[in-house]
Structure 1
Amino acid sequence: MSDRDVFYLGGVVNGARNITLMEDTAKRLMAREFGNTGHITKVEKVRLYEPCFAGDYLEYHARVNKVIGDKIVVEVRNYKYIDLPENPEFPSSIDVLPEPKLCTIVQFVFETYK
């Protein structure tokens, strides 16, 4: 996340920015697995566990949960691998987390194009 993603005081990134990136990840999975991106008809679940800040390094993981006819449920999770220390010794200091932190889970329901 960068400084341009900051929405709140303290460098907190707007949760909608994460969800937008999660949607992009889900569409890439749809294109790879099904040959088209389809369109999102529903967002079944949004869970926010850990806030994201400018300077955090995140990874997005998508998987197909269910396929029911022309409807496909895709779950996307994002994990924080690197964050900024509270009192950095240098401006470029980072903390690599020993275990990634789960930040957000979203489930999208796609309908494929015919």
Structure 2
Amino acid sequence: MAIIPLIPLEVSQAGTPVVLGSANADGHYVPNDGKVFLMGKNADVSAHTVTVTPTAPQVGLSASTPTAVSVAAGAEFCLGPYPPQLFNDVQGRMKVTFDAVTSVTIAAVHVP
């Protein structure tokens, strides 16, 4: 499998239904302007780790140290936002990966 895009849903005052899709084993690229959040659920019986890898160093955060969040079994998560200057590649995308994708679903949402 290849890394696949995850297109953010636009949040609006009228309401935005969030549809979670299966996490991809090789991860996702997400367009990121600094107003993007990741939402999801780990419906597995084991904890799983969601990682957003920085592309630029910052004080206390180096490019070799990805930001990883452990999501407990059965838990939902909301992560972000991520500063583009630290997390985006040259195409304006951040990379999201998982230690395992069994029963993990995800969506990206964009706040205008």
TM-score, normalised to structure 1's length? Answer: 0.27
The structure with more radius of gyration: 1
TM-score, normalised to structure 2's length? Answer: 0.27
- Larger relative contact order, structure 1 or 2 (CA cutoff 8 Å, min sep 6): 2
Structure in which a larger fraction of residues adopt helix: 1
